[in-house]
Amino acid sequence: MRLNDSVGVLTGVGPKTVTGLNSLGIFSIRDLLFYFPFRYDDLQARPLAELADQEKALFKGTVISAPVVSYFGPHKVRLNVRLLIEQTVVIVTFFNQPWLKDKFLPDEEIAVYGKWNESRKSVVGLKVITQNTQNELDPIYSVNKQIRQKKLIELIQSAYQETGELLIDIVPENIRQHYRLLTDSELVRQMHFPKTIQESDAARRTAIFREFFLFEVKIQQVRQTNGQVDDGLQLAYDLPSLKEFIATLPFALTGAQKRVVNEICADLKSPQHMNRLLQGDVGSGKTVVAALAMFAAVTAGYQAALMVPTEILAEQHYQKLVKLFAPMKVHVALLTGSMKGPERQSSLTEIETGRANIVIGTHALIQDTINYAKLGFIVIDEQHRFGVNQRRSLREKGLNPDILSMTATPIPRTLAITTYGEMDISTIDELPAGRRPVETSWLKINQADKALALTRNQLDHGDQAFVIAPLISESDKMSLQNAEDLYEKLSKYFAPKYQVALLHGQMSSDEKAATMASFNRNEIQVLVATTVVEVGVDVPNANIMIIYNADRFGLATLHQLRGRVGRGDRQAFCYLIADPQNEVAVKRMEIMTQTNNGFTLAEADLKLRGQGDIFGDKQSGLPEFKIGDPVGDNNSLVTAHQVALELFREDPQLEAPQNLQLKQYLSELKDNENFD
């Protein structure tokens, strides 16, 4: 058996189990060994007096009477058994596991893992621990219906027995020793079968560093390749045309916009691959920057593409850019997934023949069936919405085009260097002049009508409003505001003077586009929506943003939503309606009312997430790791970054004997996971 073999080679693993394992991301024996538990149940018995109420723990005692099984409803069974633990009689109850009764024999010792009720001196039993479980710690894995804990552990055990010896360390030995890390074989054993908490802690520490280190090494390798290879495109753009285009804009560029346009243009001209991240707060004017850069590529004789995450955005950018480019005789095409028939065919033809200078679309842009005449430059808006693979296939479509990624969720510089270090970073740190910060207030749910009254007043002055709800329709699971109910309510509230409309993700893209268009034309004054309007939507006349159950959204999302208003020159307002359930959520509401600055919010977001804020959301723009948390384990990340830098400085080709395994690992990766 080899580490790269499919899990199917394990005895007792048929096609069904293979499918189950695959659904967990486990394909090879190596994947299985490195599929780590996310926590452990502590199976060390502790004195009862030390346990907190509702704490989970191991209970060891003597069975003092035969267990009693009783039925208390259809399919509801309770098993009660009394144990003597340290001179205390403790009642242990198991629900719906009547077969356990054979395990409890009077006068025999037994161990049960369960939840302690301090006042009643009772336990809700979770599992019976059999004697042959020797470890103090029981690993708990993230599993699903197809693969259960027990099965997974068995498989890991047998895989480890057969191949544990074959694990060769990827992290160079000098680094491993210097940072006192475990070997891969020790790591795998101590993660899955720790004898003590110390062992599992050490394994976790190694696993986190190892994950970060390999990530940073990949980044350095990509940087190195990008820096050395000079077969990238040299887009010799025409500066006078670019200046002419800038002169047609209805406003002067901000200093920051000029600076980043220069940075991007320098990349376009150079023979090296461009891989740049443009960060700038909502409303800082990234779209114009992208338009200028795409225009530059067009003057160099290439096509440029702009990929955005939603159809609404594609549509909107298309409208905007057609207007913007009109004086420059640039032909813009639109391509989205929902386009069908002749409309789609005509776009495809334009892309293939090169008649389209600029193509705007969703991920439809990267389907295999689409051939570009001469794609030289790609802009990816809201880059964290796209996976690495999607970005890669887009790159593969062209002649190794230059790539500019844009994000409205700035991350602090130190974190940007460690997590997006393979990219060069440009930052727009200045808003266009005359922007007034959105005035933000936080209201309790029972004060929501106040926000509506204020909104009516603003509508009377000609403004428009967004109203956001966390759910589309009623859910019995959560008592959250849903968009459909809110739409009913507000339609009545604002009738007959104002039109209210509903927008959500389950509507067809035609419906969505039509609704957005009417809102844009001010035929609709109040738009009730889910977070589909979250990114990029630009309606300058909309000056009010009401967010129901605002505590259900992460700071990054709230800031994005708020960024939808305050784009014109009138004062804009944002009302957060929330009864937050915990301190961290209260802090999120407070910070939103205190600042409009995306960078300040990003810093605060990371701090709160460090405090265990589960609402740090996908919007926050950080890459996802399996074990390490870039915020919580930031020290480890920073160290891994420095170590990787140092490694490539000393041995750029990874030729030293201690680095050969690492080199091998990277070359194998290259074939299936081109990281960019």
Interacting residues with Mg ion (CB under 5 A): 287, 536
Whether 282 and 559 have beta carbons less than 8 Å apart is answered as: yes
Q: Which of 596, 534, 515 is nearest to 382 (CA)?
A: 534
With respect to ligand ADP, which residue has the nearer C-beta, 382 or 633?
A: 382
**In angstroms, what is the minimal distance from the CB of 432 to ligand ADP?**
3
Rounded to whole angstroms, how far apart are CA atoms 265 and 252?
Answer: 18
- Residue 168 CB, nearest distance to Mg ion (Å)? 47
Least Å distance between CB 316 and Mg ion?
10
Residues near ligand ADP (CB under 6 A), total: 17
Whose Cβ is closer to Mg ion: residue 285's or residue 630's? 285
> Which segment (277-285, 308-316, 394-402, 640-648) binds ligand ADP by CB under 6 A?
277-285
Partner residues linked to 502 by β-bridges? 528
What residue 636 binds from ligand ADP, Mg ion, none (CB within 5 to 8 A, per partner kind)? none
Query: In the complex with ligand ADP, which residue's Cβ is closer, 98 or 432?
Result: 432
Enumerate residues 406-435 that contact ligand ADP by CB under 6 A: 408, 432
Nearer to Mg ion by C-beta: 287 or 481? Answer: 287
**What whole-number distance in Å separates Cα of residue 425 and Cα of residue 329?**
31
Sheet of 402-407, strand order: 332-335, 358-361, 303-307, 375-380, 402-407, 275-280, 424-428
Closest residue to Mg ion using C-beta atoms: 536
CA distance 620 to 385: 10
Name residues contacting ligand ADP, limited to 109-168 (CB under 6 A): none
> Least CB distance from residue 382 to Mg ion, whole Å?
8
**Helices 197-228 + 184-192 axis angle, to 10:** 130
What region does 462 belong to: left with phi over 0, alpha with psi -120 to 50, or beta? left
- Which of Mg ion, ligand ADP, none interacts with 284 (beta carbon under 5 to 8 A by kind)? ligand ADP
> Of the candidates 28, 257, 279, 316, which one interacts with ligand ADP according to CB under 6 A?
257
CA trace torsion 215, 217, 221, 227 (10° rounding): 100
How far apart CA 255 and CA 263 sit, in angstroms, is 13
Reduced DSSP (H G I as helix, E B as strand, rest coil) percent helix, strand, coil of the chain, to 5: 45, 20, 35
Tell me the HSE value of 295 on the side-chain side, using a 13 A CA sphere: 27
Does residue number 621 form part of the binding site for ligand ADP (CB under 6 A)?
A: no
d(CA 278, CA 13): 48
Closest to ligand ADP by CB, 95 vs 251, is 251
Tell me the CA end-to-end span of the chain in Å, nearest whole number: 33
C-alpha 33/C-alpha 40 separation (Å) is 17
**Site string (429-468) toward ligand ADP, x via CB under 6 A:** ---x------------------------------------
CB of 433 to ligand ADP, least distance (A): 7
Choose the contact partner of 525 out of Mg ion, ligand ADP, none; CB within 5 to 8 A by kind: none
Query: Which residue from 114, 139, 194, 285 is in contact with ligand ADP, where contact means CB under 6 A?
Result: 285
Residue 557 site contact among Mg ion, ligand ADP, none (CB < 5 to 8 Å, cut-off depends on kind): none
- Chain residues 534-573 in contact with ligand ADP, contact rule CB under 6 A: 538, 540, 567
d(CA 171, CA 184): 9
Residue 282 contact, options ligand ADP, Mg ion, none, Cβ 5-8 Å cut-off depending on partner type = ligand ADP
**H-helix or E-strand containing 153?**
helix 149-163
Alpha carbons within 13 A on the beta-carbon side of 519: 27
The three state secondary structure string of 14-40 is CHHHHHHHHHCCCCEHHHHHCCCCCEE
Residue 395 Cβ vs ligand ADP, minimum distance, rounded to whole Å = 23
In the list 63, 188, 282, 589, the residue contacting ligand ADP (rule: CB under 6 A) is 282
Cβ 69 vs Cβ 102: under 8 Å: no
432 binds, among ligand ADP, Mg ion, none (CB under 5 to 8 A by kind): ligand ADP
Residue 202 beta carbon to ligand ADP: minimum distance, rounded to whole angstroms: 46
In whole angstroms, the minimum distance from the beta carbon of 286 to Mg ion comes to 5
- Residue whose CB is less far from ligand ADP, 238 or 538: 538
Q: Can you tell me which of 189, 204, 276, 286 binds ligand ADP, judged by CB under 6 A?
A: 286
Could you tell which of ligand ADP, Mg ion, none binds residue 464, using a CB distance below 5 to 8 A set by kind? Answer: none
Show the tokens assigned to 541. 């006349």
Both tokens of 629, joined, read 């948390």
Closer to ligand ADP by CB, 200 or 279: give it: 279
Length of the chain: 676
User: Where on the chain is the footprint of ligand ADP (CB under 6 A)?
Assistant: 251, 253-254, 257, 280, 282-288, 408, 432, 538, 540, 567
